[in-house]
Structure formats: structure tokens, C-alpha cells
Structure 1
Amino acid sequence: MNPPLELLKGKKGLIVGIANEHSMASGCAQAFHDAGAALAVTYLNDKARPFVEPVAQAVGAEIFMPLDVESDAQMDRLFTQIESRWGRLDFVLHSIAFCPKADLQGRVVDCSRAGFATAMDISVHSLIRMVHRAEPLMKEGGCVLTMSYYGAEKVVDHYNIMGPVKAALESVTRYLAAELGPKGIRVNALSPGPVMTRAGSGIAHFDKLIDEARSRAPEQRLVTIEEVGAVAVGLVSDQAKAVTGNIAYVDAGYHVMS
């Protein structure tokens, strides 16, 4: 793909959820960088750092800090550093989802209370906590992106409890868009088709899901993390100032098929 124009020149953005160079968030980070943005990048813990640091270096991250979204203290330190270093924040990418394996790979009706609470807290409420801290730094408006999936709208085999969790995430996206719109802060969700990422590999029979997406999508192919990144750039740029509360499908058209 051709590199994007410098649509984000001068903008400051936070990227949360890079697992490695193959993750959706990595594709977005590279696209943001290529479009001229300065970036802050986080990693979960010391175990994750070696996989995230090469991505942070490749995009010239000006801030690189640990962030476990279950830790309010770590999140506070991150946003304090952003305020100290930049004094503002123009966009945030929230690309985080987690569910304990037993609950993720079991039926929805069998999901444990603890597993459901964990999935909702990390995958959904973490976005609310993040936006709560980002809002004061977006004095002149901004954009928040989160990462959803078609399983939020329709039942997808083996996606299980993450379907209801992503549905909640999409609803939160709409409510945040309504609440923050008067301040010029836009909130949208990306809904990419399946890509072979570490997150996807946790879903049972993921290979079958990949094959179905490839065969049934109108374009009869899978999307790439670079293509997801290109859409992300457009959404956080000033060219999309009238776009908020949307679910942006990047799935080669799969979501239009019955």
C-alpha cells in the first residue's frame, strides 16, 4: 500500500493493546506514525515488553510505558506522563480484549460469573476508564478508537462470550460519542475481519473462522493489519470530524453477507 499523506502531522496519540508486530494495534501504530503522528505506546508487563518494544522503536514512540488496565495506579502514571510531556492528547486507540480461556472456549450459558466480570472489565470498562482520563487532555477535541468484531452483531460460531462483550463495547462507544460530542471528542469502533493474530488464536476453531471469512466475503480475501491501520488514520484525522458513534467495518465486505 502507498504510505498515507501526513494527515496526522502534529497530532499526539496513545496506542494501547499492541501484542507484537502482527497485531491489529501494531498495524494502526505504524499507519499513525507514517501519517505524521507522535505516539505513546504501552506494554502489559515485563514478559510482554520484548514483543512490543520493537514496534515502539519502529514508530519512534516518544512515550513507552507499562500499562495493565486493571491497575488504576499505572493508568494514572501513564496519563500524568502524557500531560507532562505533551500537555494534550489528540487520539487514543484502545485495542484490548481478554477472557479466561475456560470461559472463552465454553458456551455462553456456562460462562462463570468471575470470567464474565473479568472479560467485561478488561475489554469494556477499561475503555471507559481510559476515556475518563483522556477527556481533560482533549481540550480542543479528539478521537477515541476501540476494536470490535462482527460477533458483536451476529452469532459467530466459537466466538462465544466475547460476542456479548463486544456488543457491550459497541454500545459504550455510542454512549461515549453522545456524551463527549459537545466537546468535539469523537468515539468510534473499528470492526476488522479475522486476522491471524495472537488474540485470534485463543478462539477455538479459529482456522475455520478464517476460512469462512475468506470464502464468504465479497472480495473473497482476508484483510491486513495495514488496511485496518489505513482506516484508523482516516477516522482519527480531521477529515472525519463529522464521524462519531460509528462501527467501521474493515472486513472485505463480510458483514453484508447473510
Structure 2
Amino acid sequence: MINLEGKKGLILGIANDQSIAFGCADVLQQLGAELCITYLNDKAKPYVAPLAERLEAPLFLPCNVAKSDELEAVFETIESEWGSLDFVVHSIAWSPIEELHGQLLDSSSEGFCKAMDISCHSFIRTARLAKPLMKQGGTLLTMSYQGAERVVENYNMMGPIKAALDSSVRYLAAELGSEQIRVHSLSPGPMPTRAASGIQAFDRLMQDAIERSPLHQLGTPADVGNMAAFLISDQARAMTGNLVHIDAGHHLMA
């Protein structure tokens, strides 16, 4: 039985109760972890606040990673309130909707760079800020997708960006290993989240996953949470730098 009693962690990316980040937070809290929950902005706060209360989160803070000071402020609060940190779940991705719906060939430098900053480099910044607080080691998790490994119809600009994120995980795992900080990328299959709804023909993508995956089903945010719990636990202390698929085996199929 996984026991996360005494572990403290930061959850980035909850938008509503269908979010993968919330699925992770719910599992981790049930297993005993104490959580810091963030929300994007004042518009998002009313949707996330009841979830933070449900999770009994002692820290509930704004965090828009596109604003240079907000991520830093979150870690300053964690340091002053907790003094240390055991894990981070980073579940943040963004691109301009018009560019997500267009070809990679037509993406603008500005749109691509901003999407890369929010979806990928924010994880690197998070790792840099988390390192001093993970005094006894820790775990950093982020969310990928199989569109990073192969061409997925309509995933477009996000494919190369997620590929960069996966590569960043490997390099961070190598750089932080001496600190006993473990880094992993989780790759859920298609799930009906708000973020995924921006992908064109997403219903067709989910149906294809059900039909073609060996287990003929979709994963759920709770399934991702269960894998996150294992990787955060001491039972996974000899693992780092992995890309872990939670997609009913869909990534196996040509």
C-alpha cells in the first residue's frame, strides 16, 4: 500500500474537477500527502477554490507561469510555510488556439515561443525553484502525450513542444540525480479534459484510442494519479528519467 503521509507537494494546472492535475491531487491527498494548490487567475479561482477546499489544501495560491513573478511567489510561500517540498506535479500546456488548429509549417515565431515557454520551459523553471526545497530529495512530474513521439492528427504545434518537454525531463533527471531528485514524464492517452477540447476532432481521437488500444478503453485522471503516487513514493526511489504511458496501450499500435 502506497503511503504518502508526511509528504508535501505542489500541484500546478488544476482548471476543474475533470483536470488531470485534479485527478492526481485527489489520489495523492487520499494517500496522505499535504498539497499546495494553484489557480491560473481570478476567472479560474471560483472553479478551483471548492476543489482546494475538498482536498483540504493548506496553501491555495495564484500561479500564471507566463507572469515572471507568480511562480517564484508560490515557492517563496512554500518555503516560508513549509520549509521543504517533496514533489511537484506540473500539468500545464498552452498554445494560441488559431495556431494549434493550423499546420506547424504556418506557426509564428511569437506563438511557438510563447507555447514553448508556458508548456515546457515553465517545468524547467519549476525544477530550478524546487531544487533548494527538496533537501532530502524529491520527485518532479510533468505531463506529455504520444504526439511528442509520433505524428498525431491535429496535434500540430504541440507535438514538437511536448517532445522538447520529454527531452527536458531526461536532462533534468541527469542533472538532479546527485540531489536524489527524480524526474519523470507521464503520458496519458486522450481524455475528455478542458485542455484537450481545444484539439480539433478530439472526439474522433478518443474513439480511435478506444478501438485500437489493446485494453479498448480510455485512461482516467485517477489512473494518472495512481501512477504519480507510485513515482512519488519511496517505492520508486530507484527510478528516474522515465516516460510512462497511461493510455491502455494505445502508444504500442502503429
| Alignment check: 8 A CA contact 1:195 1:210 kept | yes
Q: Tell me how far apart the structure 2 counterparts of residues 219 and 206 of structure 1 sit (CA, whole Å).
A: 20
Q: Tell me how far apart the structure 2 counterparts of residues 226 and 132 of structure 1 sit (CA, whole Å).
A: 28
Listed one character per residue, the Cα deviations across residues 92-143 of structure 1 (whole Å, up to 9, x for unaligned) are 0000000001110100101111110111000000011111110000011000
Structure 1 segments, 4+ long, off by >3 Å, are none
Task: Give the alignment partner of residue 69 of structure 1, picking from 47, 56, 65.
Answer: 65
Residue pairs, 1:60-209, within 5 angstroms: 60-209=56-205
Say which SS state the counterpart of residue 72 (structure 1) adopts.
coil
Listed one character per residue, the Cα deviations across residues 52-75 of structure 1 (whole Å, up to 9, x for unaligned) are 112111111110000010222212
User: Which amino acid is 1:168 matched to?
Assistant: A
User: Which amino acid is 2:86 matched to?
Assistant: D
Q: Tell me how far apart the structure 1 counterparts of residues 2 and 167 of structure 2 sit (CA, whole Å).
A: 32
Q: Tell me how far apart the structure 1 counterparts of residues 3 and 140 of structure 2 sit (CA, whole Å).
A: 16
Say which SS state the counterpart of residue 61 (structure 1) adopts.
coil
Task: Give the alignment partner of residue 41 of structure 1, picking from 28, 37, 42.
Answer: 37
Q: Tell me how far apart the structure 2 counterparts of residues 76 and 110 of structure 1 sit (CA, whole Å).
A: 34
Q: Percent same amino acid at aligned positions?
A: 54
TM-score w.r.t. length of structure 2: 0.99
Of 5-14 and 18-27, more deviation after overlay is shown by: 5-14
User: Which amino acid is 1:225 matched to?
Assistant: P
Say which SS state the counterpart of residue 60 (structure 2) adopts.
strand
Structure 1's unaligned 5+ residue stretches are: none
Q: Tell me how far apart the structure 2 counterparts of residues 178 and 60 of structure 1 sit (CA, whole Å).
A: 34
* Matched residue count: 254
Q: Tell me how far apart the structure 2 counterparts of residues 60 and 6 of structure 1 sit (CA, whole Å).
A: 20
User: 1:58 is matched with which residue?
Assistant: 54
Q: Tell me how far apart the structure 1 counterparts of residues 138 and 2 of structure 2 sit (CA, whole Å).
A: 17
Say which SS state the counterpart of residue 26 (structure 2) adopts.
helix
Q: Tell me how far apart the structure 2 counterparts of residues 6 and 253 of structure 1 sit (CA, whole Å).
A: 24
User: 1:228 is matched with which residue?
Assistant: 224
Say which SS state the counterpart of residue 11 (structure 2) adopts.
strand
Q: Tell me how far apart the structure 1 counterparts of residues 125 and 53 of structure 2 sit (CA, whole Å).
A: 27
User: 1:237 is matched with which residue?
Assistant: 233
| Alignment check: 8 A CA contact 1:188 1:244 kept | yes
Q: Tell me how far apart the structure 2 counterparts of residues 227 and 79 of structure 1 sit (CA, whole Å).
A: 28
Q: Tell me how far apart the structure 1 counterparts of residues 209 and 130 of structure 2 sit (CA, whole Å).
A: 35
Structure 2's unaligned 5+ residue stretches are: none
User: Which amino acid is 1:66 matched to?
Assistant: P
| Alignment check: 8 A CA contact 1:193 1:222 kept | yes
User: Which amino acid is 2:252 matched to?
Assistant: V
Backbone CA RMSD of aligned residues: 0.7
Say which SS state the counterpart of residue 186 (structure 1) adopts.
strand
Listed one character per residue, the Cα deviations across residues 28-62 of structure 1 (whole Å, up to 9, x for unaligned) are 00001011000000000000011111211111111
Q: Tell me how far apart the structure 1 counterparts of residues 72 and 119 of structure 2 sit (CA, whole Å).
A: 18
- CA positional deviation for 1:6: 5.0
Say which SS state the counterpart of residue 38 (structure 2) adopts.
strand
| Alignment check: 8 A CA contact 1:6 1:36 kept | no
Q: Tell me how far apart the structure 2 counterparts of residues 76 and 245 of structure 1 sit (CA, whole Å).
A: 25
User: Which amino acid is 1:82 matched to?
Assistant: I
- CA positional deviation for 1:84: 0.8
Say which SS state the counterpart of residue 53 (structure 2) adopts.
helix
Q: Tell me how far apart the structure 2 counterparts of residues 76 and 197 of structure 1 sit (CA, whole Å).
A: 27
